[in-house]
Amino acid sequence: MRTADLPQIRSLRLFESMSESNFEALMQAAYLQTFPAQLDLISEGDPADFLYVVVEGCVELYARSNGRESTMGMIRPIGTFILAAVLRDAVYLMSARTFQKSKILLIPSENVRDTFEKDEAFARAIVLELAGCYRGVVKEHKDMKLRTSVERLANRLLRYHRDQGGNGTVELPYDKRTISSMLGMTPENLSRAFNTLKPYGVEVDGSTIRFSDIEALERLAKPNPLIDERSM
């Protein structure tokens, strides 16, 4: 790894409280690499050889079974995958591919486990990271179980609206096939859900979404911070 990259990596929440000697030892075994878009990184069922940290870009986690494929999540900076498999020395439960050109830090799993045992600050950071991931999964499960497909789409659009400044227009961050998979829908169901939202002031123009009545959309969506607030 280039010396110039180390300050950026050191500032990541996972590493910022580690002792200098343990950080240096961990980085000696790691490498930072840039991957092109749509490149397969890991496959479910394979042993967890590395911990991956997304430094730039975006990675799609997905799974397949019985001829079906579903997007399980999108990892953006600064995010890790697949941490639980690395700590348990287990196989990957999901596959991963780059959604766009991405810079990713790869750390051998054995080195992660060794450092976890001897560096308390690193161990605490990992526990917090796993706790955040667990709570995120619970929220996604509640979203799927407690809302209709139209309500899921409405709340996701409201999230994108907040993230992009709340100016009445949203650029979808992913293609509609990916968004439908993330929401547990088919592309056809997503299209019908968008049509259902038209009376609530939602106008679709390709990847651009315009809102003419946010209050009406919020009344339909009924956002719940225990599902939609990512910082809780």
Q: Which residue has the tokens 């959604």?
A: 99
Q: Which structural domains are found in the chain, ordered by start?
A: 3-144 (2.60.120.10), 148-228 (1.10.10.10)
Task: Give the model's pLDDT for residue 13.
Answer: 82
Task: Give the model's pLDDT for residue 85.
Answer: 96
Identity of the amino acid at 77: P
Q: Rounded to two decimals, what is the model's pTM?
A: 0.87
Collapse the DSSP code of 186 into the 3-class scheme (helix H, G, I; strand E, B; otherwise coil) and give the result: coil
d(C-alpha 98, C-alpha 102), whole Å: 7
CA angle (220 as vertex; 217, 224 as ends), nearest 5: 100
- For residues 34 and 103, the answer to whether their CB atoms sit within 8 Å is yes
CA 109 from centroid of its chain's CA atoms: 20
Residues 64-87 have pLDDT tens digits of 999 999 999 999 988 889 999 999
Residues 29-66 have pLDDT tens digits of 898 999 999 999 999 999 999 999 998 999 999 999 99
How high is the mean pLDDT of the chain? Answer: 93
DSSP 8-state symbol, 119:
-
Residue 228 tokens read as 């939609």
Residue 217 tokens read as 């959309």
Kindly report the length of the chain: 232
Task: Give the model's pLDDT for residue 231.
Answer: 81
Buried b (16+ CB within 10 A) or exposed e, 188-214: eebeebbebbeebebeeeeeebebeeb
Residues 183-209 have pLDDT tens digits of 999 999 999 999 999 999 999 999 999
Task: Give the model's pLDDT for residue 39.
Answer: 97
